[in-house]
């Protein structure tokens, strides 16, 4: 296989996207960006996909941008550099736009662009060896690829500001305590697959709507969330599992206000 990003399909609807350039610790270069864009588009158009796991081959998730490949020609005018950066960002920010739940399984470093890829996912599961670095400022580079938004969303304004100004790196345990990752486990890919298997048990529309409700809630006002929930809950009430639950309660008998069943 050529270096890039490879997509694997499991029978339960789980898709696994593997960043694959271990010789460069899965650093992002134009070939990787093109492969990412192609793979993400394939998942977006896959009607059988129920969830996506994003992981890295070898002992790294993604060590950031391949600087010579991405920034080598600095004689270009700023608008031209900006246009190429926006194209690179788009290659992985498509993860954020997917309607299905996305889980990052992170082993080793997730630095710069690698941090962005991980935080584009809905859940991040990390190994004890994982590190999360917003190291842009260390080399005089402004954060990019959504890093500022992702860190403010995950850490809050003050912690995000400090991490970005210092060009800091968080260990897996610090990332867990700060709320950057959902869990730390010895085998994050196995944990991600277990989570994906639970998603596969849900009706696809239910899983997608839960993701959308969380997205709306993260954006702010309550009313849009309540409005969406009322529609999504009403739609889910038509499902077989809800009907079975209602039938079960009816069989058991009505419950009085003091909690005792009436037969």
What pLDDT, on a 0 to 100 scale, did the predictor assign at position 254? 52
What pLDDT, on a 0 to 100 scale, did the predictor assign at position 2? 58
Which tens digit of pLDDT belongs to each residue from 99-111? 999 999 999 999 9
Tell me what the pLDDT averaged over the chain comes to: 90
Which tens digit of pLDDT belongs to each residue from 189-214? 999 999 999 999 999 999 999 999 99
The Cα 7–Cα 105 span in angstroms is: 14
The total of other beta-carbon atoms located within 10 Å of residue 161's CB is 14
Q: Taking a C-beta distance cutoff of 8 angstroms, is the pair 101, 123 a contact?
A: yes
221 vs 154 pLDDT, higher one: 154
What pLDDT, on a 0 to 100 scale, did the predictor assign at position 260? 53
Among residues of the chain, what percentage have pLDDT more than 90? 69
What pLDDT, on a 0 to 100 scale, did the predictor assign at position 256? 43
Which tens digit of pLDDT belongs to each residue from 234-250? 777 777 777 787 778 77
Residue 159 pLDDT greater than 80, yes or no = yes
What pLDDT, on a 0 to 100 scale, did the predictor assign at position 193? 97
78 vs 128 pLDDT, higher one: 128
């Amino acid at each position: 296989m050529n270096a890039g990003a490879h997509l694997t399909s499991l029978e339960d609807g789980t898709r696994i996207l593997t960043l694959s350039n271990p010789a460069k610790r899965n650093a992002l270069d134009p070939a990787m960006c093109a492969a990412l864009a192609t793979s993400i588009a394939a998942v977006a158009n896959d009607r059988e996909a129920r969830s996506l796991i994003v992981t890295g081959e070898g002992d790294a998730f993604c060590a950031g941008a391949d600087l010579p490949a991405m920034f080598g020609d600095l004689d270009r005018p700023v608008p031209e550099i900006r246009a190429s950066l926006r194209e690179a960002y788009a290659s992985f920010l498509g993860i954020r736009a997917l309607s299905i739940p996305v889980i990052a399984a992170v082993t080793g470093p997730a630095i710069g662009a690698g941090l962005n890829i991980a935080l584009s996912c809905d859940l991040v599961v990390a190994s004890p060896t994982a590190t999360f670095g917003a190291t842009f400022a260390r080399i005089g580079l402004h954060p990019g690829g959504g890093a500022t938004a992702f860190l403010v969303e995950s850490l809050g304004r003050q912690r995000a500001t400090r991490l970005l100004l210092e060009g800091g790196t968080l260990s897996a345990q610090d990332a867990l305590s700060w709320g950057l990752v959902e869990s730390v486990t010895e085998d994050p890919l196995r944990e991600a697959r277990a989570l994906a298997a639970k998603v596969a048990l849900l009706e696809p529309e239910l899983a997608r709507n839960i993701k959308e409700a969380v997205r709306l809630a993260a954006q702010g006002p309550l009313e849009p969330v309540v409005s969406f929930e009322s529609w999504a809950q009403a739609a889910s009430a038509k499902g077989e599992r809800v009907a079975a639950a209602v039938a079960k309660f009816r069989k058991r008998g009505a419950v009085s206000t003091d909690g005792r069943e009436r037969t």
